[in-house]
Structure 1
Amino acid sequence: MEPARLALIRGGTKDGPRSTGSGYLIGPRLVLTARHVLVDRETGETWPKLSVQIGHPAQGPTRTAKAELLWTPPDELDVALLRIDQAMDIPGSVLWGRPAGRAPLPYAGLGYPKAAAVETRDVENLRGTLSPLSGSGRHYVLDQDPAPEPGADGGNAWGGVSGAAVFCGHRLVGVVVQEPAAYGARRLLAVPAHSFVQDAGFLNHLAEHACALSEPTAIGVPAPRAAPGTERTPAERTLEQLLRPLFADPAARTAHARELAGELGYETADYTPTAADLVTLLLAHPRAHAALGQALAARAVDQAFRSCLTAFLTQARVLGRGPFLAPEEFDDLLHLLRGIRDEQSALLPQAARDALPYAALPDCLDRPRIEEHELADAVEALEELPDGEGIPEGSPPVPALLRLVEYVAAAVDGERQHELRAWSKRTADRIGIHGDALAERRMDAARWAERRRNSLVSRVVMELERDGAADGDRYACRILLVRTDGTHRILKSPSSEPKTPREAASALAEAVGAARQEPGGHDHVPWVTVVVDRPGLHLAVDEWESGAPDDLLPPSPIGADYQLSLSCPDLDRLVATRGQDRERRWKKGRTSVVVTEPSCGDRDKLMHLLRTEHRDTARVVLHGPADQRQAWLETCLAYGVPVVLWDRDATGYDDADRLGELAPSDELDGLAERVRVFRSRTAAHPEERRARPSLVWEPEGSYPRTEQLHLRDPWRGTHAS
C-alpha cells in the first residue's frame, strides 16, 4: 500500500461537490474506486463533474485532476475506473492478491471517512481482519479494529471511505463498498479484486495505459505460534488444561493440530505444534475449536472422554471463542438451506420468527424473503444467539440455530427433511446436546408445522404513518400477516427507514408473495388492509406502484393486483362505542346500504340517518360535495359503519354515476373484488376519465394491535459513502 496513490474523489455539479469517496491510483492516469461514489442517487446518472485529489496530505503535496468515468463491469459490481486528465508519476506498480484458505487475514487501507473529518476530510488508516469464512463470497467482510461510533446525524460513520483499496500485505485484494448498518460501524464490505480484474474491458484499459497487471496471488497465513509462557493469558491456560485429558498421546495431539491448521487454511510447512501452539490456534480462528471438537467426537468411545470433550466445547463458548459449527458443518448446512431457499425463499424467515420469537434476529431474517447471498450471514448471526435452558438440568442447552433447523425440517418433506434432521442430530451429538432436549425441540417444530399447514394467511396488513421530518413523501411502514386462526406476525419492523410510496408498495408485494409461498397459499391471494390515521384516509395507496417484478412486465398499481382497502383503528380511541357499533352493523346490516343523495343534506342529517333508520347499516356510498367529504367520512366511521366507498375525484353529486360500474349497492362480499377489477381497468386505460374509488373496510372481529409506529432516528443507509 503506497500512501502516495491515495485518492480523494468528489462528484457534483457546477454548483459544487455533492458526493465524496476514496480511491487508489493503479496507473499514471487510472483510479480505482466504487461505482456508487460517482452516481447521483436521485437520478442514477454519473455526476457531470468529477475531480480526484492524489496523494496523502500528511506525506507531502497533493495534486488535483479532473476525471471521467472510463469503465464499470458489465455485471453491475460496485467498482469503477476513472481516467484523470494528467499523469501522476509514482514509482512502482500495483500487486494484486486473493485470500486463500479459511484463516482470517489482517488487512489495511487508506480512505476519507466522514468520522475522521474535522473541517476537511482527514485520512484514516483502515485496519482489521478479513475473514474468508464470513459473508456470502460476493463481498469480503472486513471487521474493524478501530471503529467509530455510528453517525449521530443519521449518516454512515464510514461515509466517504467507499472506493478505498483493501490490502493484505502488499497486495490489493478488494475495494470498500458498503457499511452494514446492523453492525454499528464495526464492519465494512469490499468487492473482491479477483471478481473484476480479469474482465476484458478492465484489462484493455490497463493495456491502453501501459499498466501491468499481475495475476492475483494467493495469500495464506502461517499457522500461529504460542507466545512465551509469561505472556500467555488465563483463557489460554484454561483451554490447555481442558485439552490435556483429550490428548494423552503427544504425537496424536501434534497430528491433530497440523491437520486442523491445514483444514482452517493456514500454511503448515515446518509446523510442529506444541500443546500451547494448539491452544493459540484454537483462539486464532473463529471455527477452530468447533473443527477440533468435530474431529475428536469420532474418538468419543466412552462416556468419560465425551464428558471431557463437552467440558472443553462448553468452556470455549463461555470464553466467547466464536461460533459452534465446524467449517464442514457450516458448509453442509448452507448447502441444505440453499436448496430449500431456492424453492421457498419465505420459509427460513418465517421459521426464524416463530422458532425464536424473542430473539434479536438479523435484518435478513426480519423480511418476508431471504436472498441466497444472505444465508451465510444469517447462519453466523444465529450461531451467536444465546441458548435456552438445558434438558435435563445441567446439560448443554439446544442452540438457537438448531431450533431453527428443526423448524425448517418440519416444514419440508422427503429427502430434505431427512437430511436436515440428520445434520441436526450429528451436530447436537457432537456438542453434547442431550437427546431428550433435541426431541423436545423437534416436537415443538412438528406442532408448528402442522399449524402452519392448516392456517392460511387471510389478510396482509400494512400500517402506514407519514414521516413529517423526512424530505418528500415518506412513511413509516410495518407489515403483518394475519392468519385464519386469528394469529399474526410482524414482517416489517417499525424501526426501519421511512419509505417512499414505491418502496412501501414493493414491501407489500414482497409480503403477499411470501404469503403465497406457504402451504396451500399458491392459489390464494390474501386481502390487503392498509391501516392509516385520519389524514391518511385520503391517500391514494391503491395507485402506488411497486418495482417491476422483472424486465418483461411493467409495474402496476397495487390496487389493481390485490383486493385493497383502508382501515382507521385510530378512531376507536376517540369513539369508545365504535367497536361495539361496528360489530352490531356487521351482524345485522350486511344487506343494507346508505347512498348519500342531495336529500341527505348535510352532516347533521347523515348523523340522524345513522342513529335511526340506518342504525344497523354496514355500508355507505358517499356522494356529494368534495369539501364536505372528510366530515361525512369521519361521521360514518365514528358511528361504526365498517364499509365506506367514495370517489376521490368526485366534485359533487353529478359525479355519482362514475361509481356505477362498481355496482356499489350490489352484493357486499363481492364489492372489494369489483373495486380491484375497476382499478385494473383504469390502469389499463389511463386516458379515460374514470372514478378513483377509495374503500374503507373495517374487518370483522378483533384487529391485531401492535405498538405505535416509530421511525428510527437517525436514518442510516447501507453504502459506506
Structure 2
Amino acid sequence: MSWFQQSAGPPPVVAVHAPDAGTAAGAAALLTPQWVLTCAHVVNEALGLPQLSTEWPAEKGLAVTFARGTSRIAARIEKWVPPTNTAAVWHGDLCLLQLDEPAPEWVPPVLWADMTQGQPLRAWHSCGDPVTFADVEMKLLDRHVGYVDGQLSGAPIGPGFSGGPLWTASGTAVGLVVGRLEPPGGALTSGHTLRRAWALPWQTLRAELDRVGARAVVTACRTVRAVPAHDPVGAKLVAALRELLPTAAARTEPARHLVQELKLNGPQDGSAPTVEELAAELLSTPRALPTISECLVTGPDGARPERLNALLALGRVIDAAGLLSHGEYAFLEERLREVASQDSMLPARAAQEALRFTQPPDALCEPVLRPEAVGEVITGLEGCHEGGPGPEDTPRVPSLVHVVEFIAAGLPEPRRQALQDWSDRVCDRLGVHTAARNQRREDARQWAGLRTAPRARLLARLDVYGPTAPGCFRCRLWQQRPDGSQHRMDTTAGDAPLTPEQVATVIRDGAQRLQHATRGEPPAVDIEVDRAGLHLPLDEWEPEPPNAFEPSLPLGVLYQLTLRSADMSRQVPTRDPERQRRWGDGHGRPLVIGRQHADSREVAGLLRSTYLDANQVVLHGPPELRNQLLDLCLALGVPVVVWDREAQSHDHAEHLAPVNPAGPLHGLPRRLHEFRAEKPAKKRADPSARQASPSLVWEDPTWDRLAHEDPGLQLTDPDEGAPSR
C-alpha cells in the first residue's frame, strides 16, 4: 500500500441526476475536473428514457452531484456509446459528460489502474452514504468485460451502483460498474448469479473513449505508472529524487506540500514516502512534479540547486507532469478567465505577437477567447516549446510565459503586475535567466505601446459580375464588432449588379450601420477582391452624396481601407500557412524593393532566406515589374504589401515617402488614411506636384475563420448565380 493512500476513506461519490430530480439515477467517475464518465443506461434512466435506449439524447441536460449532493453542477453529453446486446450481459454502455464548470477542488479525479483477476474491490452506491459500500472480488477478466462476485454478507451490488468506479484498497480504480447479472436461463439460474455483477475494466474504458474521439480526455486522466527497473524515465526520476531528497527527513516537507496542494491522501504522523513511492506519484498524478519542485527552489545554502534542472527536464517527458504547479495553474486560470470576460480579444492578439514559430491552441486562433476555453489554452501552451536556451545555457522562456507577458502588457495596473509577478515566480522555479525573461517583457511592452484598441471592421467582398453586366460587381458585407463577433450583413442591393459608385454606397451605408450599432469610431474597411481587383482604385470610389448638404467623399478618405485577396490561396496551397507564420512572427523587418533588385527571381531568393521573417514589403518600380512582384509576394505569404499605383519607375519611390511605408507596421493603415484625407488639399496647394496613389494589401487573421467556414466567402462563377445562404 502506497504512503499516499494510507489514510484513504470513503471517496467523494459522484452521482448523475435529471436536471430537476433529487434522487440519483446512478453513479459516475470524475476523470478530470471537466469530464465525468458514467453508463449510458444511467443517463437514460435519469432522463426518463428506456434503460437500454440507443438514441443519443443530445438536447437533454443533466446534473452531476458530488459528496452526497453537497455540490451540484450542470453537465452535457459529449460522447455516447449506446448499450448493445440485451442478453444477460450487454456491451458498450458509456457516456462521457462535460461539466459546465470545474468540479470542486476537494473532489480529486480518479486515479486509474488496470484491472486484473483476483483483485478485492469495493463499490459505492450513488447516494453517497458511507454505509452503502459493497465488497466484491474480480473473478474473471473476459476480454472487454470483468465479472465480480460478492460474499453472502454485507451489501450487494444492485440498482444505483451502475456507472461508479470499482476501487482497490490502495485508492485506485480499475473499472466501472455496469450492472447486476440476471439469470438468462439455461445453464445459469438464480442460484448461480445471486451476487454476480459485471464491470468494464479500465483497459476497455480507455479503448472505447479513444475509439469515439476522446483520446485527449484519456491522456489527461490520472493513471498509475509503476517504476520498474527497465523503465528509463522512471529510473532517471528515482535517481534524481534520490540525489535531491536522499533522506526521509528531506522528503517529509515536500511530500506534505504535495498532499496539501493536490488534495491527496497521506498519513499525518510525520513520516515520509520512500523515493520509489514518491516517484510513482510524480509519474501518475497531474502537476505533481512541478508542484513538489516548489519546495525545492531554495537549497540549503539559499541558492537554487542546479540538480533541480534535471528533475524539471524529466517533467517534459512525463505526460502527467505539465509545466505549471497546481497553484500556478489555478492562479493563471482565474486571471485569464477575468481577461476573457473583460477583454476577450486581447489573448488571441497577444498570442499572435508572442509566438513566432508555434501554432497556438485552437481556442487562440479565434478572435475571441471564451472563458470556458481558458483551461484548454493553458494546457495547450504548456506543451509548446520554441527558441534556444537562455544566457549561460539556462532554460528557455516557456511559450506559455511568453504569451502571458504579452497579455499582461495589454492590461491596466494592478492586473498587469499580478500576471508579471506570476511570471517571475514561474521563471524563478524553472531557472529561467532574468535577462531572458526581461527581454520578453520589454518586447511585450513595446508591442502594447503600438497596439490599437479593438475596433469594428467591415469586410466587403467584390466579385466581377460577368459578361451580362460589364464593369459591374456583386458586393456582400460582413461585420466584426469590437467584441470579435462576426456576422453577415444584409444589404438592399442583394446580389444585383452594381457600378463602382453603387458599390461605394453599399459599403458606406454598411459602415454607417455598423458604427451606429457599436456607437464607436468609423469601422476599418477591408475589401476582398480577385487578383485583378487589387489594381482597381477602390480607395477613390465615391458613394452617392449622403444627403443634400454633405459632399461625397472617396472611400479611402472616409475609412481606413485595406485590400485582401483569396485568389492566390487557391492556386498556392502553402500560401495560407506561410502568411500565418509571417504575420505571427511579430519581429519581421520590412523588405523595400527598389532598383537594386533586378527581378522576381532575386526577390524570391531574399524572401526565402534573408527576409524569411518579412511580414511587410514595399514595392517600387514600373507597373509591369511591380505587378509581377505583387503576385510573388502574395504567393510567398507576405501579409502586408504597399505600393503606389501611379508610379511609373523607380524614380517615383519618393512619392510614397510621406506614408512612411516601411515604418511601424501597426500604424500603416492609419498613416495611409491620413495621407488620402490630406491629398486633395496638397493637390490644390501645388497642382503640378505628383502625388502617390497608395494601395495596401493587409491580410491579418481577422477574417481567416470566416473565410474557411462561411460558404459566402468562396469564389464562384458569377454567371451561376449567388451562393445559397
Q: TM-score, normalised by structure 1?
A: 0.45
Q: TM-score, normalised by structure 2?
A: 0.45
